[in-house]
A and B are shown apart, each in its own frame.
Chain A
């Protein structure tokens, strides 16, 4: 689906602050995953009678860093509101959140984030960001609300700090939405807000409208691929309704992950009244200019800056630079390697991105520096640069390094050290050509068959030859053969 000018998409993104040690209002661990149900709880996050919330100051600090990075106007005082609705996963039957209005303000508003689509820079406006508490989780023993006779509730997640990021409806295609979300996730990783490899760490409500129709909100979509699918489905659904002359009503729909469709819940006749009011337990937190200045001074490097640095300082191509930066760990690893070798930055980047990453695997990316220490890769690349080993050996060596071998020992044990070239290589080429007469005939008729001979040469040199040089030498010899044959025919 291309960008359609009549489509408007806005996002409400909920990100768990997984980098915090504790929940938003109590000292329970923020690491609630894989724990037996209802074991990561206390009187506060269970909303037991008499318990009171105490704000996690680190959460405010992290939210302020996001606000700074998103170029937002930051409130002078941070206040908390209660949002009331009855639902069993919400222990107090109200959620402590932030709200714009009624004497309460968001942490920050009116910012933006730039992202790239098809090589163009786009800017999405950020309406506001808020902190709030995550509810618990309802578990159905059959997996479905419809067939379960009872519901189980697990409050381990209750009280986890959520950062809500609300955009303006500035997107017109799933491609833009995905590019934006990638950029946002990268940014949040650099700010040490969240680890998006954790299941459920980001949930998105997608608001979609077509010109002439009302806004439809698709709630709680969990993954990037589901977001894309939900937008495609919803735009198609709304468009076909419009074509039939049916007006799209304002409503909330749910994303059915199994069937990949949006399902209507109930049409919003009027907006629900959450009876927001300032939480009388939580006095406002005043944000001093000094505090903001301190935070601004101690901001980590942001993706944009690192991307530029990789291009300008290390000579990495724009493309490889953005691949490296998309994983904070990878960009850091790249810089660690470059501290220890003089190899051309773009060459090193290419080897990391095209070879190493594949062998390490996406799911282990966070430990890349433990799997292959930067010093080991740097040593390998330094040998490549000095001509001691060939690119072929580098490519062979990487999976071995990933499986735990050390560069020096590996090269020695495989006999890969020492490049074969020039006169020495020419002699080996002669021998190979003599021993493979059939292959030579093939190669004379079909230039593509030369690669087979190159392989034989690499085998004969224990991969210590530069395949390019071998190719050139073989090609030269073949040309000589052809010349000889022509001379004989002329006679």
Chain B
């Protein structure tokens, strides 16, 4: 499928396009759709002056998740505690995008501090699914997914700590990539769980996804876990060139049956998934079913590690240096001040902080945290075996259809089926991609691929072919 972004950039370069046109259109669409779907927390009202004429993304509008800091542009993490926080610096990815001429049109809604799967923990109200307003768009990058899905922008950035790019991509029918840990700088991404957080691109086509990814993946000396880009210009070439059907014959797709035959999985979705597999097989892909029961333990391990890190990362939000205050420190002692102020967090964030603090406390650390680290190592080596020799793990993008927007999020049962295949990539640091493969009524169907470290070139090539096959 032709990429609108690449076309525009090319036209602009040839002098055949007006550099304001693309952004104007996006802002018009946003003005119409944002009130309907609650996509943006902060939306720029006016087109910035003096738009760049050159740069890989000159004049291209983009939506940014509101946990990525933007200088002089409010960044809230969808939390009351940062309701009025205007950063004094920009994230490395934001600097890269601006250098390439991209135009940030707004900061998108999300689950508070990226904690949630439905987009409903936002202090600014939930984002609705553009495909069906009765449904959740998935979280936590709910606004970024909806911004792309509703056609406001072709490009958006989300963040993915346990599936937060891929689940909303699956539920709104767009492309989403969770990069290899360390491929995209985290400097300026407000931490949820540092050892798993990654910024990921979301896009309306596979080419756009690859193109955006080629720009944001680079080494950053400000991120101690950054490794950079081992592909040179390969990813950009994948974005520009025709799909390479040979890629399907060079890989071995492996479907872990535990991740498909989950008791909570939806039968009709599983059926659609099987149909997609047959189609890929008929195009020459080698697909086999495997079994690895330990994958069902992924969510437990994930939650222990994520909550522990979150309890530590979110300690800094206290209203002393920035953010909102409900009480002045002069009025009370420090302990009271901290407690009153930190009550501004929403219930899901509080739940995770408290569980994390409990896990790290004396006596429980060894019982939970140490064990989780061990289990993480074991799962990593199991998955490495699965991926050796050109293996790629294939799962449904989501084994259940989007949940209703008023779903009771304290009932975790239906989300259990979603968690394991998505969190697997974060626990292991592996790259994973969600690719739409059609619709059943208004319900989007998608597949997820998890590749070995630094295999984004392969994943994106497969995405381009798959897009053609199912397009």
Contact = CB atoms under 8 A, between A and B. Distances in A.
Interface of A: 43, 46-55, 82, 84, 86-88, 91-94, 102-103, 149-151, 153, 273, 275-277, 280-283
Nearest to A92: B316
A69 B464 CA distance: 60
B219 interface: no
A88 B334 contact: yes
B346 interface: no
3 nearest A-B pairs in the assembled complex, by CB-CB distance: A93-B315, A280-B195, A275-B360
Contact of A86 (B222, B318, B361, B365): B318
A178 B96 CA distance: 55
Given A86-B315, A92-B315, A54 B85 contact: no
A48 B88 contact: yes
A84 B313 CA distance: 10
A182 to B, nearest CB: 38
A30 B309 CA distance: 29
B369 A50 contact: no
30 contacts: A43-B88, A46-B321, A48-B88, A48-B89, A48-B322, A49-B87, A49-B190, A49-B322, A50-B68, A50-B190, A50-B191, A52-B186, A52-B223, A53-B224, A54-B221, A54-B224, A86-B334, A88-B334, A91-B316, A103-B370, A103-B373, A153-B320, A275-B312, A277-B365, A280-B193, A280-B194, A281-B191, A281-B225, A282-B224, A283-B224
Contact of B225 (A84, A92, A283): A283
Nearest to B362: A273
A277 B194 contact: no
A52 to B, nearest CB: 5
- Chain B at the A interface: SS class: loop
A351 to B, nearest CB: 52
A283 B308 CA distance: 17
Interface of B: 68-69, 75, 77, 82, 85, 87-89, 91, 186-191, 193-195, 221-225, 308-309, 311-312, 315-318, 320-322, 329-330, 334-335, 338, 357, 360-362, 365, 369-370, 373
A50 B316 contact: no
Nearest to A102: B365
A279 to B, nearest CB: 8
A158 B188 CA distance: 20
Contacts of A94: 312, 315
A51 B187 contact: yes
B113 to A, nearest CB: 10
A282 B195 CA distance: 9
Contacts of A49: 69, 75, 77, 82, 85, 87, 190-191, 316-317, 322
B373 A50 contact: no
A151 B318 CA distance: 16
A112 to B, nearest CB: 31
B78 to A, nearest CB: 13
B65 to A, nearest CB: 12
Given A276-B360, A277-B365, 7 more contacts: A43-B89, A48-B69, A48-B321, A49-B316, A50-B91, A52-B186, A275-B312
Residue from A91, A94, A273, A275 having most chain B Cβ neighbours under 10 A: A275
Contacts of A43: 88-89
B70 to A, nearest CB: 10
A82 B312 CA distance: 8
Contacts of A46: 321
A80 B315 CA distance: 18
A102 B370 contact: yes
B316 A151 contact: no
B39 to A, nearest CB: 22
Contacts of A87: 334
Residue from B221, B309, B316, B370 having most chain A Cβ neighbours under 10 A: B316
Contacts of B321: 46-48, 91
A273 B308 CA distance: 15
A88 B320 CA distance: 7
A91 B317 CA distance: 9
A332 to B, nearest CB: 37
A82 B191 CA distance: 15
B221 to A, nearest CB: 7
Contacts of B193: 280
Contacts of B87: 48-50
A150 B330 contact: yes
Contacts of B320: 88, 153
Contact of B369 (A53, A151, A277): A277
Contacts of B317: 49
B330 to A, nearest CB: 5
A52 B190 CA distance: 9
Given A47-B321, A275-B357, A277-B365, A149 B373 contact: no
Given A46-B321, A102-B370, A84 B315 contact: yes
A55 B224 CA distance: 8
B97 to A, nearest CB: 15
Nearest to B68: A50
Nearest to A93: B315
A445 to B, nearest CB: 79
A51 B89 CA distance: 10
A88 B362 contact: no
B373 to A, nearest CB: 7
Nearest to B186: A52
Given A49-B82, A50-B68, A93 B361 contact: no
Contacts of B335: 86
A316 B351 CA distance: 70
Contacts of A283: 224-225
A48 B321 CA distance: 8
A379 to B, nearest CB: 52
A49 B320 CA distance: 13
Contacts of B315: 84, 86, 92-94
Nearest to A54: B224
Given A46-B321, A50-B191, A84-B315, A281 B69 contact: no
B315 to A, nearest CB: 4
Contacts of A50: 68-69, 87, 91, 187-191
Contacts of B360: 84, 275-277
Contacts of A281: 191, 194, 224-225
Contacts of B369: 277
Contact of B222 (A47, A54, A151, A276): A54
A149 B330 CA distance: 7
A273 B360 CA distance: 9
A91 B315 CA distance: 9
A102 B364 CA distance: 12
A55 B221 CA distance: 11
A137 to B, nearest CB: 14
Contacts of B85: 49
B361 A273 contact: yes
A82 B361 CA distance: 13
Contacts of B308: 277
Nearest to B358: A275
A174 to B, nearest CB: 34
